[in-house]
Structure 1
Amino acid sequence: MVKGAVLVTGGARRIGRAICLRLAADGHPIVVHYRRSDDEAEGLVDTIRSSGGTALALQSDLSDAASAISLVQRAGAESALGGIVNNASMFVHDDLDSVDTEGWDAHMDVNARSPMLMIRALNQQLDDDGRACVVNVLDQKIAEPNPDHLSYTASAMPCSA
């Protein structure tokens, strides 16, 4: 990982929380992204700070393009960003018989479009050395697709490239 703060999307709970704690333990300032988990995000920030780390929590709805871009801009205004961990995702059961355009588009917005927009926003604020790190958190459905989460699987594929 490079120098600077790390923005972890979906950082307040579960795997995102563990990622934040590990990166903070390694000395990185952390930006904990959350959509609705404000209590968990603030609790995590308190935990990191009480251990001597630096952290802040920022809310954003990644289904909204402007909000996703703004998240990176706000994070970068607080501390120079050195990386993003794209951990947040939409994960709703559907299959070929039940998928609809609204659900498909919602998955694409969160799982494919917002990571691309945030990576671009990060790139626009890099310093002269142009170094940053991006990690896209994916699961086994990419390696072994099955029909039970069609929209999720299709929308996560662009981040596997």
Structure 2
Amino acid sequence: MSTTTDQPRIALVTGGSGGIGRAVVKRLAADGYAVAVHYSGNKDRAEETVGEVTEAGGRAIAVGGDIADENAMAAAFDATENAFGGLDVVVNTAGTMLLSPIATLDLADLDRMHRTNIRGTFVVSQLAANRVRTGGAIINLSTSVTRTQLPSYGAYVASKAAVEGISLILARELRGRDITVNAVAPGPTATPLFLEGKSEELIDQLASMNPMNRLGAPEDTAETVAFLAGPARWVNGQTIFTNGGMA
């Protein structure tokens, strides 16, 4: 692993108060990272996650802010650097998913989702490009549905395809900085965001789409993120599909 110092690495995880983000926080903390747990609306949940990390002997703080507000997120980056002395890894798990056929999608929902998923990713990536230290990593979350083309996911997939484009181009723009940029594209994962509004029949159907015959767990994605955050220095400008083999 290439780093500028022998000090413990420092990570900021957006959306770190729940779902995949929470699993990423706990995994990175277990790997020895000091972690800033970002939240947008659920401060109590973020503080609970911080408490779990510190009780286990790790270091963590909670930082808040609207993911798409560049000033709020700059303050979150500032708070992370002030607390821990720098920043090595940024993991952007914050996002929203609103499903509808394209023909009937409420355009207000389109705007809301794209503000979080596209503008939010751009804001975080832009700040990370200017703040992450040499030897660091930037990791954004996409979705495996970008290649499965499931009905009703059109607007969501459009936003996540943008996430992949931002990530892969930023990797090339950071030439010479020794900073990797990758996207992780989970398959169906048992999080509140994913399970909301779905019938048991649909959940079972989605679970059967991979040869492992189960939904992913948040910890499955956290495993991939931890790999990209640390030892995977030769994986750069890629989208990693973490989905159990879903076709």
Q: Shorter-chain-normalised TM-score: which range?
A: 0.7 to 0.9
Over the aligned positions, Cα root-mean-square deviation in angstroms equals 2.0
| Structure 1 segments unaligned to the other structure (5+ residues) | none
Contact persistence 1:69–1:117 (CA under 8 A): no
With normalisation by structure 2, the TM-score equals 0.59
Give the Cα separation in 1 of the matches to 2:70 and 2:132. 20
Secondary structure, counterpart of 2:102 in structure 1: coil
1:67 corresponding residue in structure 2: 72
Of 124, 130, 137 in structure 2, the residue corresponding to residue 133 of structure 1 is 137
Which residue in the other structure is 2:58 paired with? Answer: 53
* Partner of residue 13, structure 1: 18
Runs of 4+ in 1 over 4 A off after TM superposition: none
Aligned-partner Cα distance in 2 for 1:71–1:149? 31
Q: Is it true that 1:111 corresponds to 2:142 in the alignment?
A: no
Offset of residue 144 of structure 1: 1.2
Give the structure 1 partner of residue 151 of structure 2: 147
Per the TM alignment, residue 51 of structure 1 is displaced from its structure 2 partner at its CA by 1.1
Amino acid at match of 1:69: A
**Matches of 1:69 and 1:97 in 2, distance apart?**
37
Residues 1:101 and 2:107 are matched in the alignment: yes
Moved more, 86-95 or 99-108: 99-108
The SS at the match of 1:45 is: helix
Contact 1:60 1:71 in 2 (8 A): yes
Partner of 1:97: helix, strand, or coil?
A: helix
Give the match for residue 87 of structure 1. 93
Distance (whole Å) between structure 2 residues aligned to residue 103 and residue 72 of structure 1: 28
TM-superposed CA distance for 1:157, in Å, is 0.8
Where do 5+ consecutive residues of structure 2 fail to align?
166-247
